[in-house]
Amino acid sequence: MKRVFFTDFDGTITKIDTTDAMTETFAQNGWQEIIYQWEQGKLNTRQSAQLIFPLLKVNPDEAKRFLLTIPIDETFQDFVNYVNSRQEKLYILSDGFDFNIKTILEKNGLNHLEFYTNHLLISKNEQFDIETPHASTCDRCGTCKKTLVQKLKADAEEVIYIGDGISDVCGCQAADIVFAKNYLLQYRKKQGLPVQPYTSFADVLNKLQNM
Ligand SMILES: [Mg+2]
Ligand SMILES: [Zn+2]
């Protein structure tokens, strides 16, 4: 059976959410309420980013240095090798930012991986803004993963999705098998939806090999 893999980036490939970590480290007070409103679905990704950016006191170089300290799941490379060895496709889908993803993938020698996410615009005076080239009819996500899964799965017969958070809820709706942890796991359980719990890509690999 031809399979295709989709994985979230923040908190799934990386051990912590890079946007949350940047906000907690560099934003002036007031961000907590904005994040809370986003979690409640009262602000969408674009609105929440545009409210948080003016509070962020960091320039792009500092941001990059900070991102380079964020570790990834040590077993992710094994997972990438497994997918490659079977000549299957793997896509990274993120409602975070290309700047963060590119920085971290490059550091880990993984910049050949294909990703779809929001664009972090950096103006000449180093102000940030968000661009959402993968927005869809969903009014919550900046990058709606459901539309991307449907588009990118092409002729694959089985869609496997790996994620952890609120922004994965949409993507999972178009998947056949969902690996989840943290918020996403609780959400799927509460809704009575099928879900495979995992903590690292080693677990995902293990389960796939026993399926
Ligand atoms: Mg995540
Ligand atoms: Zn969505």
- Quote the DSSP letter at residue 168: G
> Which ligand has the shortest distance to the CA of 185?
1
Mean pLDDT by 10 residues, the chain (211 residues): 96 97 96 96 97 95 97 98 96 98 98 98 93 94 96 96 97 97 98 98 96 87
* Tokens at 186, concatenated: 């609780």
CA of 96 to the centre of ligand 2 (A): 13
pLDDT of residue 1: 87
d(CA 186, CA 194): 11
> Which ligand has the shortest distance to the CA of 165?
1
Q: Where are the domains of the chain?
A: 3-15+71-209, 20-67
> Which ligand has the shortest distance to the CA of 166?
1
pLDDT of residue 94: 98
CA torsion angle for 119, 62, 51, 96 (degrees, to 10)?
40
pLDDT of residue 68: 98
CATH number of 3-15+71-209, picked from 3.40.50.1000, 3.30.70.20, 3.40.50.410, 3.40.630.30:
3.40.50.1000
pLDDT of residue 133: 96
Length of the chain: 211
